[in-house]
Amino acid sequence: MYKISLITGDGIGPEISESAISVLNTIHDKLDLKFDITKLSAGDNALEQTGKALPDETINAIKQSDACLKAPVGESAVDVIVVLRRMLDLYANIRPAKSYPHMPALRDDIDMVIVRENTEDLYTGKEFRVGDSAVALRIISVSASKRIAKYAFETAKQRNLKKKVTCVHKSNVMRITDGLFAKACTDVSKDYPEIVFEEMYVDACAMNLIRQPQEFDVVVTTNLYGDILSDESSQVVGGLGMAPAANIGDNFALFEPVHGAAFDIAGQNIANPSSFLLSIKMMCDWLGVKNNDSKCIEVGEKLESTIFDLVKTGIKTKDIGGDMSTSEFTKQITDNL
């Protein structure tokens, strides 16, 4: 029995959380993989009700769970996900970008993953004013850079596709910080002679994600670049609705959709839940590897193939041009599972 903490979030968060619960309950009842789900509050609603975007009881429940699923939250996101990443040392932000049928992808053969360092860079929030200027501290360390580089190379080994890692930086301009990151990745690459290693400036990478996205396998980069490039890669394969993400540490992991709370369609039962459901697939992969549970990995693969087969028929939710509601789309998935 896996204990799963579930932050239901804001906007469309509660709706897609119900989709996630339906899928997890189906897996529990029909596929004999047991989950105990605890719904938790965090985000704008929690801030309004408790005075904290991330209440203490939510933090405690997450720490007592085996893994966390997080629906999108609103304006208070920085006080939720950024805090959890640091608190739980979730140093690797993993964002796959894969072509799915009947989605407006640039090509049908894109299958890459961005491995983003998740604890440093400008996202530490160390900013201050000096006179009429605003200053931000950019912190890049050797230890964090080598740690994320190793994760990227291990990912390339496990994927067993192109077996290539692309280190993205801008060391021709930021010679000290990005220079350190590039050198750390280069040093780690020497331990993986079977993996092709290349370097690319971030502006060139942004261009090549449009020009030849099929050439990428694993991209490793810093926090800010990874945030921007992962949104771009998601759009290259058709949009954020099919884009899951994982925040992974040595002992814990949190899984979430890449997209935001989409307040403009909240409460209409039209949101595509696929990104959140594919996050469950990533969670099953992580739990399976961590606990040597092949059943868990098989269930994750079955969930992804079920979503793939469903969208292959042309079925979509209303927010992306289809005619199905969120709940109807979810029921198709649970029936097929």
Q: List the catalytic residue out of 2, 91, 123, 151.
A: 123
Angle CA 92–95–96, to nearest 5: 135
The answer to whether residue 123 is catalytic is: yes
Q: List the catalytic residue out of 231, 290, 302, 331.
A: 231
Please tell me the distance from the alpha carbon of residue 44 to that of residue 42, in angstroms, as a whole number.
Answer: 7
CB 148 within 8 A of CB 115: yes
3-state SS assignment for residue 175? coil
Q: List the catalytic residue out of 66, 178, 227, 319.
A: 227
CB 69 within 8 A of CB 7: yes
The answer to whether residue 231 is catalytic is: yes
Q: Which of 10, 18, 20 is nearest to 74 (CA)?
A: 10
Phi/psi region, residue 267 (left: phi>0; alpha: psi -120 to 50; beta: rest), is: left
Q: List the catalytic residue out of 109, 191, 203, 250.
A: 203
3-state SS assignment for residue 322? coil
Report the residue count for the chain.
337
Q: Is the dihedral of CA 161, 162, 163, 169 positive or negative?
A: negative
Q: How many helices (H) and strands (E) does the chain have?
A: 11, 12
The answer to whether residue 146 is catalytic is: no
Q: List the catalytic residue out of 98, 150, 170, 316.
A: 170
Alpha-carbon separation of residue 258 from 94, 263, 278, 291, 308 (angstroms): 10, 15, 11, 26, 18
Residue partners of 82: CB distance under 8 A and separation at least 6: 123, 125
Alpha-carbon separation of residue 195 from 116, 163, 267 (angstroms): 18, 5, 47
Please tell me the distance from the alpha carbon of residue 47 to that of residue 157, in angstroms, as a whole number.
Answer: 42
Residues marked active site are found at: 123, 170, 203, 227, 231
